[in-house]
Structure 1
């Protein structure tokens, strides 16, 4: 779902560039990702670092993907396929998983600029099978936090939209 939205923002296709895929133990997973994925101590995990690029080579997102290896060979193949985004590879393999948002907020882009970040799991049988963290290029996805004062008419709309916004942010 994220990649088509990013393609719409840049008005064109995005290319996946996997910087590396390796098999690791759970202790090696980056902070936040291991806690969200919740692998067993004996699990082997696939760890993929990749970027989505415009056709001109501009980085649109930097992604870290971790998957519990050996659970579903189609998932393992999708994560290790360096030629396309993981979501596209999963769709091509007809893998259906439930997305659960773990975190949305701000992080730091490699150049030190604040950027938007989203972390989510893709669950199978009620348990995370993959965890994906996406950092978005702040020159493409604005990470600026804006505060707007409410007028007398706006509190009703804000109150109605509050739970929906909270639900989207917390994943509940």
Structure 2
């Protein structure tokens, strides 16, 4: 099962082991809307921030979730998790949606299987952040990249990717793509080379 793409990533993608803070800050700064910059630069849980933006409660909808060999997952996700090709990882695609079925974000998650089970990240009906808060687990996020990618309908949308660490151990890679009707993707003009899909 491979769920790690919803379209080509545009500016903001980088090599798997790159997480230069200045480059990420510059990438976020390219977005014209302050709400987009605030959301992409936030180190807190995404769901409460999105709920404040949309003015509605959000619910998680898991589209698919499975256990696969790390070798079947792009290195963009596995290198920051420090897993080898023979390790097993949890792969999940989910959406955050309103009661009116408006999708606010599409999220791809790759998690170290044992750590995901121990921390409750593998729970199907509980958002990752909500589960960690209920368990009293503190987390730290290490941003990997931010920029544009394609929303499922082909329009450009804002995205970010980061690794969530629990007790200084990388536990899951999360890539979030935000509905362009909710989070404005207006972006500064780039060169033709920057606009080629990676």
- TM-score norm. by structure 1 comes to 0.77
Bigger-Rg structure (1/2): 1
Query: Which among 141, 150, 174 is matched to residue 108 of structure 1?
Result: 150
CA contact (8 A) 1:64 1:133 kept: yes
Is 2:133 the partner of 1:51?
no
TM-score, with length taken from structure 2: 0.68
Correspondence 1:128 to 2:170: yes
Give RMSD over aligned pairs: 1.7
Q: Which has the higher contact order (CA 8 A, sep 6+)?
A: 2
2:90–2:116 contact (8 Å) kept in structure 1? no
Aligned to 1:71, the other structure's residue is in SS state helix
Alignment of 1:1-172 (within 5 A): 1-30=45-74, 32-71=76-115, 73-75=117-119, 77-79=120-122, 81-146=123-188
**5+ long unaligned stretches in structure 1:** 148-172
Change beyond 3 A, Cα 1:27–1:34: same
In 2, distance between residues paired with 1:139 and 1:28? 32
